[in-house]
Chains A and B, each alone.
Chain A
Amino acid sequence: MKTIRFLITGVGGQGTILASDILAEVGLRLGYDAKKSDILGLAIRGGSVISHIIWGENVCAPMIDQGTADFYISFEWLEGLRRMAYTKPDTVVLANDWRIDPVAVSTGQAEYPAIATIQDIMKTQCKELHVIPATPMAVELGNAKVFNSIIMGRLSQLVGGDEDIWRSAIVDKLPQKVRELNVTAFNAGRALNA
């Protein structure tokens, strides 16, 4: 059984923990051993956050090493750039086309890197870059928070596995009132490549 390593990078509050919960659960339901690790506490107040997810035959550590991610999921451009050390030449990158200015940028002390440059780096260093306008799509669906289910939809096509298993993990991990919207978002993510 192949080992698949995922890294999710984003801004605290964007829902990386929920996304990693779902992704680990999908792995388990697809028949893998799965482990994951997140950062909780103060960092979730708008800080820089990452989540590690590993699927495999018999997973030891709940985190991945730098230079080993098979799938690198960026919820925000600057954070996507920040953790590129986790990628390798055959990494598949999924990037939410969304920018959140840190205070250092909004107070004029630092410049936000050009998004075109970030994309170039991702394309050059990795095998594939899939740019997904997930946050604007989610706003269109009525709730900006469901952007990560859109990304999960696209990810499910790239990783493979029964799409109903992916959907079932989303449904079971979310409260009743947002299930339908997240499934719609997941389907919208899959429709991107229809």
Chain B
Amino acid sequence: MKELLSGNEALARGALEAGIEIACGYPGTPSSEILETVAQYKEIYSEWSVNEKVAMDAAAGAAYSGRRAMVTTKQVGMNVLSDSLFYTAYTGAEAALVVITADDPGLFSSQNEQDNRHYAKLGKFPMLEPCNSQECKDFMKEAVRISEQFDTPVIIRTTMRTSHSKSVVELGEAAGYAGKQVGPFTRNMQKYNCMCTWARERHHVLERRLVDLEAFSDEWPGNAITWGDRKYGFIADGIMYEYVRQVFPNASILKLGMCYPLPKKLIRKFADGVENVIVVEELDPFIEEQVRAMGIDAQGKSIFPICGELLPEDIAEHCRKAGILNAPAPVIPQDAVQDLPLRSPLLCSGCPHRATFYNLSQMKLPVAGDIGCYNLGTLPPFNAQHTMGAMGASVGVLHGMGLSDLPEPAVCTIGDGTFFHAGVAPLLNMVHNKGKGTVIIMDNRTTAMTGHQDNPGIDKTLSNGPIEPVDIAGLCTACGVKKVLTVNAFDVAEVRRGLEECTAYDGVSVLITRGDCVFVSRSPKPALAVDADKCIACGKCIQSGCPSVVLSDTVHPKTKKRKARIESVTCIGCGVCSQICPVQAISRPETA
């Protein structure tokens, strides 16, 4: 049976067909849909772990116990889980252990552009790179096989395009799951306890394994040559293979499904068979440098840029400039599309973060920001998140600001999911080291930006039923915070009072702004409306940054400024703009 699947859905399907039993991960674009799809298969236990490192450890523990396990993460989550990833290279496991990293060339939703292929070389893992959804599914099964054959974790690397594009997949059978028993836990400390004396020995095992894997890579059908025109031979990994065969339908191509360790014999054979070797890879010259180190005069980054996504049209353009491609470029109409108004993403109509950012922008406080929808508080009209770098970083950065005797009180903004992920430890650190500053925990009861996954503050799990949620205020108190306030996130004045009280406190304070994400509790109230007779065109409601509050065509007779209007199709009646309006011109229709 054939179906159109995204790369992420196909990886999940591959997990089912490969007999994965335990799947852990932390949501992050572009990886989130892998585990969401796995959760639909009752054969596999799946969980949103509290962060990527915990997911990696849990998967390792499952694989040590004899269960086939997998971990999913976005590219920067690899940095979080790498601490645990590296010991698994030394230990191997009793059953397959597969790590999927979904990278983001072009930074569609990441804070940096990193090439996670380097993790394969750094930690000495085999790494597979599927070129389309069919290969996502097939390589998942291959990863399980390779992991068990070589007693090593295997990394599958996708990019945003492989993860989020859809193509046709031939579905296979689910693995036989029924009644698999595992034995008592394997007590093999020399292998599974990385005490230095034993780990020294294991390093040799790891190096021997890499040699074996390189020989395997040469024979593995996922690496393959298609001979065509011999003037230029292209080496392409992952989805680059699809792009190259589109731009150069008649070329010789060495398709790499495994970018580490490289199939060196195959590469030599290919290089011997063509006049010029061109390496087409996104981001760093990861393959090119290894090929050049083999003494082959391959060209790559002299033709293609290191930064950004590399699309087929980019490959074509750079190859035209380098004299490799003669086909003419399509004519691209460029008229009249210059200097258009930008359309940045923005907080949804009815978002619980709006009143907090409105207040922060009014109070002009320095704000250490974090990762989530609330990073949109950075953009106009709020301009109210002044730093942002990594999950949970806001709390540690706030601590450093607090140590620096700034003239103004500092705050940080962190969502509930991000707080659980990496915010609790730095809060403990602030308390222990007598820091000062206000941690604003924007508790919207979901992990919103990545698609509303559960976290410990929510009363449900991914595949294990309901659960008592963790009380964030109680957790902060238990961390030793003496000043913990909870306010209604939709009450502009209450949020303001909370901010004033917390920022006046000499020490560590926590302000929890509680309000459900619009996607969590969809109970829209009737749209509000602006009474044009009352509106004084002051523009304050526009400063709420709500997509439903727009300028109308009615002009104030004196100031000639345009009055406000509410888009009734999208307004869900949260009432924040009506609280901001100084002349009570915004109200619900029944009272209007």
Q: Which A residues form the contact surface with B (CB < 8 A)? A: 11-13, 21, 24-25, 28, 33-48, 59-63, 65-68, 78-79, 81-82, 84-85, 87-88, 100-113, 117, 121, 125, 135, 139, 144
Contacts and interface: CB of A to CB of B under 8 A. Distances in A.
A42 B341 contact: no
Contacts of A39: 108, 164
B542 A42 contact: no
A37 B164 contact: yes
Contacts of B109: 40-43
Contacts of B547: 46, 100, 103
A103 B311 CA distance: 30
Interface in B428-465: 449-450
Nearest to B379: A103
A104 B331 CA distance: 31
A103 B378 CA distance: 13
Nearest to B2: A28
A41 B549 CA distance: 24
A47 to B, nearest CB: 4
B340 A82 contact: yes
Contact of B4 (A24, A61, A108): A24
A41 B163 CA distance: 12
A42 to B, nearest CB: 5
Contacts of B347: 45
A43 B243 contact: no
A82 B337 CA distance: 6
Nearest to A13: B348
Main secondary structure of the interface of B (DSSP, over half): loop
Given A41-B450, A42-B449, A103-B380, A125 B343 contact: no
B496 to A, nearest CB: 22
Interface residues of B, number: 59
A62 B166 contact: yes
B165 A63 contact: yes
A193 to B, nearest CB: 25
A35 B6 CA distance: 9
Contact of B346 (A46, A59, A108, A139): A46
Interface in B149-207: 161, 164-168
The residue in B344, B373, B449 that gathers the most chain A C-beta atoms within 10 A of its C-beta is: B344
9 contacts: A11-B343, A21-B4, A34-B4, A42-B345, A47-B345, A61-B243, A63-B311, A88-B331, A107-B380
Contacts of A37: 161, 164-166
Contacts of A104: 341-344, 380
Contacts of A88: 330-331, 333
Closest 9 CB pairs of A and B: A41-B109, A67-B330, A41-B29, A62-B165, A47-B345, A110-B341, A60-B246, A102-B343, A37-B165
Interface in B26-42: 29-30
A78 B342 CA distance: 10
A78 B547 CA distance: 15
Contact of B167 (A25, A35, A79): A35
A135 B330 contact: no
Given A84-B337, A106-B550, A108-B551, A61 B312 contact: yes
Nearest to A118: B336
Given A42-B29, A44-B345, A65-B316, A36 B330 contact: no
Contacts of A125: 333, 335
Nearest to B448: A45
Interface string B394-425: 00000000000000000000000000000000
B301 interface: no
B545 interface: yes
Contacts of A107: 380-381, 539, 542-543
Contacts of A78: 340-341, 343
Contact of B312 (A65, A79, A105, A113): A65
A61 B242 contact: yes
Nearest to A120: B336
Contacts of A109: 341, 380
A67 B165 contact: no
B341 A40 contact: no
A109 B383 CA distance: 15
B160 to A, nearest CB: 8
A41 B379 CA distance: 17
A106 B544 CA distance: 11
A81 B336 CA distance: 8
B331 A28 contact: no
B330 A41 contact: no
Contacts of A35: 132, 165-168
Interface string B367-389: 00000010110011100000000
Nearest to B382: A103
Contacts of A62: 132, 161, 165-167, 242
B345 A67 contact: no
A66 B165 contact: no
Given A47-B345, A111-B341, A112-B341, A85 B334 contact: yes
A15 to B, nearest CB: 13
A91 to B, nearest CB: 9
Given A43-B109, A46-B345, 5 more contacts: A12-B345, A63-B161, A65-B311, A66-B332, A104-B380
A72 B393 CA distance: 42
B501 interface: no
B345 A85 contact: no
Contacts of B551: 101, 105-106, 108
Contact of A67 (B333, B449, B543, B569): B333
Contacts of B375: 42
A45 B373 contact: yes
Interface string B305-342: 00000011100100000000000011111111100111
A71 B161 CA distance: 22
